[in-house]
Amino acid sequence: MSLIDTVRQSFFDCANNVTILGGSFIANGRQGTGKDKSGFELLLEHVATSAFHNSKQRLDPPRCHEHTREAVLQELFGWIVGKVPRTTWMAWLNGAAGAGKTAICQSLAERCIAQGILVASFFFFWTDNTRNTIDRLVATLAYQIIQLIPGTKELITQAIESNPLIFEQSLETQVNDLIVGPLRSLHTADPSWKLVFIIHGVDECGQPDERKNLIRTIAKILHPQDLPLVVLFGSRRDYDLVMAFSSQNVDAVLSQFPLNDHYQPEKDIRLFLDDSFNEIKQTHPFKKNLSADWPSASHVQEIVDKSSGQFIYASVVITFLSIPTSSPATQLDIVRGLRPPDTGRITPFAQLDTLYRHIFAQVLDLPAALKILAFTIFGVPHFLQSTRYFLQLTREDMHTILAPLASVLGDLDEAELTFRHASLPEFLRCRERSKEYCIDALPTQLSILWFENLASGRFPMLAPADITNLIEHVEPSAELHEKLLAYSPSQQHSSFHSVALNFCGSYPARFLNAVRDLKFGDDGKAYQHVLDAIVRYVKQEFPASIDNIAENGHEISQILEEIKNEEKETRARLTWNRNANTLVNTEVVVDEMSIMPNPAAVYHRSLSPANTHKSHALPSITSSTFPARIASCISESTRKRMRAPGTNLAAPTDPTRRSGTAKADDLKVLPKSSTASDRPSASSETPHVVVTARRAPFAARTPSHPYATHKGHAPAARTPMAPTKRAGPGAGIPPSAAIIRTRNDHSGKAVQTKAPAPKVLKKTPWR
In angstroms, the Cα distances linking 61 to 100, 123, 275 are 12, 11, 19
Planar angle of CA 92, 96, 100, nearest 5 degrees: 75
- The pLDDT score that the predictor gives to residue 726 is 44
User: From CA 429, how far away is CA 743, in angstroms rounded?
Assistant: 69
Q: Are 86 and 231 in contact (CB under 8 A)?
A: no
User: From CA 256, how far away is CA 506, in angstroms rounded?
Assistant: 48
Closest CA to 376 of 356, 393, 359: 393
Closest CA to 104 of 409, 130, 112: 112
Neighbours of 511 (CB within 10 A): 23
Whether omega before 508 lies within 30 degrees of 0, making that bond cis, reads yes
Neighbours of 232 (CB within 10 A): 25
The pLDDT tens digits of the residues spanning 624-673 come to 444 444 444 444 444 444 444 443 333 334 443 333 333 333 333 334 33
The pLDDT tens digits of the residues spanning 431-483 come to 989 999 999 999 999 999 999 998 888 887 777 778 888 888 999 999 999 99
- The pLDDT score that the predictor gives to residue 507 is 73
Strand order through the sheet with 195-200 = 118-123, 195-200, 229-236, 90-95, 254-258
- The pLDDT score that the predictor gives to residue 457 is 83
Could you write out the three-class secondary structure of 480-507?
A: HHHHHHCCCHHHHHHHHHHHHCCCCCCC
Q: Are 105 and 245 in contact (CB under 8 A)?
A: no
- The pLDDT score that the predictor gives to residue 324 is 92
End-to-end C-alpha distance for the chain, whole angstroms: 111
- The pLDDT score that the predictor gives to residue 714 is 43
Q: Tell me the Ramachandran region of residue 317: left when phi exceeds 0, alpha when psi lies from -120 to 50, beta otherwise.
A: alpha
Please list the residues that pair with 257 across neighbouring strands.
93
Neighbours of 164 (CB within 10 A): 14
Q: Are 464 and 495 in contact (CB under 8 A)?
A: yes
In angstroms, the Cα distances linking 249 to 218, 252, 253 are 11, 6, 7
Give the torsion sign (CA, 639, 643, 645, 650): positive
490-510 as b/e, with b when 16 or more CB fall inside 10 Å?
Answer: ebbeebbebbbeeebebbbbb
Q: Are 423 and 306 in contact (CB under 8 A)?
A: yes
DSSP classification of residue 519: -
- The pLDDT score that the predictor gives to residue 434 is 93
**Burial of residue 666 (number of CB atoms within 10 Å: 0-12, 13-18, 19+):** buried
In sequence order, the 6+-apart residues with CB closer than 8 A to the CB of 435 are: 357
- The pLDDT score that the predictor gives to residue 491 is 82
Please state the separation of Cα 603 from the chain's center in Å. Answer: 48
Please list the residues that pair with 120 across neighbouring strands.
197
- The pLDDT score that the predictor gives to residue 554 is 87
Helices 442-456 and 384-391: crossing angle in degrees, nearest 10, is: 80
Closest CA to 515 of 548, 487, 496, 537: 487
Q: Tell me the Ramachandran region of residue 518: left when phi exceeds 0, alpha when psi lies from -120 to 50, beta otherwise.
A: beta
Q: Are 583 and 626 in contact (CB under 8 A)?
A: yes
Helices 366-378 and 442-456: crossing angle in degrees, nearest 10, is: 80
Task: Give the CA count within 13 Å in the CB-facing half-sphere of 425.
Answer: 16
User: From CA 391, how far away is CA 762, in angstroms rounded?
Assistant: 35
User: From CA 334, how far away is CA 221, in angstroms rounded?
Assistant: 52
Please list the residues that pair with 121 across neighbouring strands.
198
Q: What are the extents of the domains in the chain?
A: 40-260, 265-337, 461-573
Planar angle of CA 31, 162, 205, nearest 5 degrees: 80
Closest CA to 736 of 607, 616, 612, 613: 616
Closest CA to 53 of 218, 200, 205: 200
Q: Using a CB cutoff of 8 Å and minimum separation of 24, what contacts does 475-479 make? A: 475/441, 475/443, 475/444, 476/518, 476/519, 476/520, 476/521, 477/444, 477/448, 479/448
3-state secondary structure of 550: helix
Q: Using a CB cutoff of 8 Å and minimum separation of 24, what contacts does 58-63 make? A: 58/123, 61/102, 61/106, 61/123, 62/100, 62/102, 62/103, 62/106, 62/315, 63/103, 63/106, 63/107, 63/110
Q: What's the CA dihedral at 659, 663, 666, 668 to 10 degrees?
A: 140
Task: Give the CA count within 13 Å in the CB-facing half-sphere of 715.
Answer: 21
The parts of the chain modelled with pLDDT lower than 50 are 1-4, 6-8, 10-11, 24-34, 503, 576-748, 750, 753-755, 760, 763, 766-767
Neighbours of 51 (CB within 10 A): 26
Closest CA to 140 of 66, 82, 57: 57
Domain 40-260 belongs to what topology? Rossmann fold (3.40.50)
